[in-house]
Amino acid sequence: MKIEKVKIAIIGQGYVGLPLAIEFGKKYPTIGFDINNNRIEDLKNYIDHTNEASQEQLRSAGQLSFSSDINDIISCNVYIVTVPTPIDEYKTPDLKPLEMASKMIGGILKKEDVVIYESTVFPGCTEEICVPLLESSSGLVFNEDFFCGYSPERIVPGDKVNTLTTIIKVTSGSTSQVADFVDDLYNSIIKVGTYKAANMKVAEASKAIENAQRDLNISFVNELALIFDRVGIDTQDVLDAAGTKWNFLKYKPGLVGGHCISVDPYYLAYKAENLGYHPEVILSGRRVNDNMSAFVANKMIKMLIKAGKQIKGSKVLILGITFKENCPDIRNSKVAIVYDELKEFGLIVDVYDYKANSIEVKQEFGFNLIDEIKEKYDGILLAVAHNKFSMIDIQSLKKDSESIIFDLKGFLPRNQVTSRL
């Protein structure tokens, strides 16, 4: 297939799929497809509630259209899959969205079509899970009638500097010729170029270890925070001192949520365990990071007790519910676990976050956000470092001089907080 002849369907119009659809839609006939009809109707009206794309960006893609009707993408010859790949309650890969997308595409797949996966998976998933579904649904033969590629997404939600076109794109294909085609296709929209991996398994593994590495580095400083809390020294002070050496990695402690860092290591661990190897380091990092919510809640309680506050009935304000700063994404937010822990102690807890969608928060976590801060509080927990939180007069929110302020992000002026993580 020649690039000039492509007609692209991007399956999934979330944080990854939409920016991809916009860039491809500037150069090629492109359809952004999603099963969520409300999402599609919003995008048709140039509205993006994820805040990843402005109206101007949506309008700039002259060859882009949106649809939730599968009949509209039958004429496409390149399908790019960007659906979520979460974990289930047992922390094992939940491949249902990926499997559903593969079956759906298989039902309309034609000879010479190319299916490219971007969803984060374990090494071998495309060929072991997705390809058989494409074959069974289409009746076509892999690498004879149709072909596949894998190009892991690297988009960081909320990051307006490191965007799709300014991050090197890893590419791969199921044959050498298809690998060249996939690489050329992405190279036509990525300003900084691409990196063609040896094969699809290598490309899949590269994405998995990117996030596993970051998870492990954060787990190390989180464990340091647990230790230094017992020593009675400020972790940020220690990191600032150590950071004066040029080769010290300046990671900070915190809650590790979201759809990538707190999820992808389990995909790698799942594959390893299926091959008879129990990954000690990867899972130990996950245990440390998963336990940080309980540590934060317990530290908050201890600080309130030390300040002479009666726990039951005391009022606490949590600033931020999203999984990271300056982003409306609440997926897998660990702040919600802190909220639940504090409620179990009998505290009255308000959560304020101007970035998050209150309806989504209610559906996902079961509590309501407050629209504005009107009360005074016994304790204030800054959980997310949204820019506009710096404009809040944090001292004015304290009920009295004994009220405590716990800053998880090292965001507030040091002289205004009781403690930092």
* Crossing angle of helices 358-365 and 335-344, rounded to 10°: 60
Instruction: Judge whether 139 and 28 are in contact, CB under 8 Å.
Output: no
Instruction: Judge whether 185 and 78 are in contact, CB under 8 Å.
Output: yes
Q: Which of 234, 383, 405 is nearest to 307 (CA)?
A: 405
What count of other Cβ atoms lies within 10 Å of the Cβ of residue 218?
22
> Percentages helix, strand, coil for the chain, rounded to the nearest 5?
40, 15, 45
Strand partners, 210: none
Helix (H, G, I), strand (E, B) or coil at 151: coil
d(CA 271, CA 246): 36
What count of other Cβ atoms lies within 10 Å of the Cβ of residue 276?
6
Tokens 């063609």 belong to 196
Please classify residue 72 by burial: count the beta carbons closer than 10 Å to its beta carbon, then call 0-12 exposed, 13-18 middle and 19+ buried: middle
d(CA 333, CA 295): 15
d(CA 196, CA 232): 49
Instruction: Judge whether 119 and 293 are in contact, CB under 8 Å.
Output: no
d(CA 216, CA 333): 18
Instruction: Judge whether 254 and 408 are in contact, CB under 8 Å.
Output: yes
Q: Which residues have C-beta within 8 Å of that of residue 17, sequence separation ≥ 6?
A: 10, 11, 32, 34, 80, 82
**Is-catalytic flag, 125?**
no
H helices present in 251-291, as ranges: 264-274, 280-290
Catalytic residue chosen out of the listed positions 76, 125, 130, 260: 260
> Residues, the chain, total?
421
d(CA 266, CA 406): 30
Could you list the active site residues? 260
